[in-house]
Amino acid sequence: MKPAVLFVCLGNICRSPLAEAAFRAEAARAGLAAVADSAGTADYHVGEPPDPRAIRTAAKFGIDLAGYRGRQAEAADFTRFSHIFALDQSNLANLGRVAPAAHTAHLALLLDLVPGREGQSVADPWYGAEEDFEVTWDEVSAAARGLVELLRR
Ligand code: 4NP
């Protein structure tokens, strides 16, 4: 079975679409077959494309996010995906609350994949500036590289 990875933030329009895109790019580069998706714990932006700042940031790295649409994480995700990564501590706690008792997905914090950043959150760039989205991109890319290494073992 190929790995199926879900990235989860609050709105699914800033951080988790970038995490999904970074993982897709790293997996493709490594020749790793994997399913990838992203979701939000909140329903504020269901059906909406990513934030324009996230779209522009990904575009700088040759990645097109325009077709992505927001959705809310749901109980079925805990069996459909082998791995679920929360972008921050608050969303990890919220996911823990909605996880069905008999779930099979491995649930963890995204930055646990980055040596030296274990336990840390990817800061929410929503209230920030365009440069904050580049910091997000760097963080999710480092995590994506760590995840591809882990899944290839
Ligand atoms: P995200 O950022 O969780 O990285 O997608 C946010 C997007 C929207 C909101 C909060 C965070 N909001 O409050 O609408």
CATH label of the domain that carries residue 128: 3.40.50.2300
Confidence bin at 147 (pLDDT 50/70/90): very high
Distance CA 136, CA 141 (A): 8
| pLDDT tens digit sequence for 16-25 | 999 999 999 9
Distance CA 6, CA 39 (A): 7
Give the dihedral of Cα atoms 37, 48, 77, 41; nearest 10 deg: 110
Structural domain of 122: 4-152
Question: Residue 26: which residues within 8 A CB-CB, separation 6 or more?
Answer: 141, 144, 145, 147, 148
**What six digits make up the tokens of 110?**
């995204």
| pLDDT tens digit sequence for 77-104 | 999 999 999 999 999 999 999 999 988 9
Q: What is the pLDDT of residue 1?
A: 84
Work out how many domains the chain is built from and give that number.
1
| pLDDT tens digit sequence for 98-140 | 999 988 999 999 999 999 999 999 999 999 999 999 999 999 9
Would you say 107 and 96 are in contact if contact means Cβ atoms under 8 Å apart?
yes
Q: For ligand 1, what atom is nearest to the CA of residue 44?
A: 14
Which of 9, 87, 111, 126 to mutate to test ligand 1, by most ligand atoms within 8 A of the CB atom?
126
The count of other CB atoms within 10 Å of the CB of residue 70 is 22
Q: What is the pLDDT of residue 58?
A: 98
Distance CA 99, CA 140 (A): 23
Which of 48, 87, 124, 137 to mutate to test ligand 1, by most ligand atoms within 8 A of the CB atom?
124
pTM over 0.95? The answer is yes
Catalytic residue set = 9, 15, 124
